Each structure stands twice: as C-alpha cells, then as structure tokens.
Amino acid sequence: MQTSFQVGDNAVHPAHGLGEITGIERREIAGSAKSFYVVRILETGMRVMVPTQATESVGLRTVMSQPDADAVMDVFRTSDKAVGAGPWNRRQRAYNEMIKSGSPHEVAKVLRDLYRIKFRSEKDLSYGERRLMDQARALLFKELAMARQSTEAQIEQEIEAIFSVAS
C-alpha cells in the first residue's frame, strides 16, 4: 500500500525520525523525471529526499496513532528482553538491526533493555550503549510526544518512572 503525503504532513523516516514534508520536487534522474518528497527532519533540520514511488520500500510512514503510541509505551512495562545475554558486539548488532527496522515497537524494545541496564545495574552504560540509547530516543520520543499530544520531556519522565519503580 503506497502512502501518499501532502506538503505540511508529518512523516517518520526509519533512519532519521520524525519530519515534515516541506515540498514535492521533480528531478530528472537517468533521463526520466521522478517526484520526490522533501522531508525536513525535526531533530536535526536535515533535508531528506524520498522518491514518491518508493515510500514503502524506504519505510517512510505516517505518525503512529495514539492507541499505537500507548501500545509502544506498554513495551516498557514488560519484563521481556529483546536480546539475550552474550558479548556486547553481538547484542549491539541485534539492537542496530532493530533500530534500522523503523518499527517503533522494535526501537522501544531496544530502549527498554538499555533503560533496564541503566536503572538496575551498578555500572554506567558504556559509550556504545549510551550512543544506541541516544539514537533510539531521538527516533522515538518526538513521535511518541506527537502521537500522545505530549512533550518529549513528559514521555521521558513517564518512561523513567516505569524503571525507577521497577528497580
């Protein structure tokens, strides 16, 4: 199912997070004219062009609904573990794949596991774990805040409260 966007719509890019469609441009590539959505990523201000005929394969999607956002928040309340024990490099690869999937549920699982380490372990997160956490938060918090008509700070407080109570 091809998703169609209009200028002014919000959209989520799997690798860059929440953005706004700021234009639709036609460009000639390899002798044929193609249309592109111009997406301004809200977190960084970066401009990304996505072929209008390839939104599905790129993974550009609409912002999740409030019920979907509530379901994503429920991921933080489960005691599941997305990636089992093992060497950090193997877990990191698995977490990176989950983040690249563009699925808010998968990104939330990564965050859940890292929050659990942060709140329940005596040691601080490693540099790699902190980087992954920052990346997952950047991809998820803006969208959750928009879907739940909230702020990123409120989303973070709600998630941290889940882990501080559980620890």
Q: Provide the pLDDT confidence category of residue 166 given band limits of 50, 70 and 90.
A: low
Residue 4 vs residues 1, 37, 58, 60, 65: alpha-carbon distances, Å: 10, 10, 13, 10, 17
Q: Which CATH architecture has domain 10-58?
A: Beta Barrel (2.40)
Q: What is the CA radius of gyration of the chain?
A: 17
Which pTM value belongs to this model?
0.87
- 104-136 pLDDT tens trace: 999 999 999 999 888 877 778 889 889 999 999
Within the chain, which residue ranges are assigned CATH 2.40.10.170?
10-58
Return the DSSP state at 83.
S
For domain 66-166, say whether CATH 1.10.3720.10 is its number. no
Are residues 111 and 155 in contact, defined by beta-carbon separation less than 8 angstroms? no
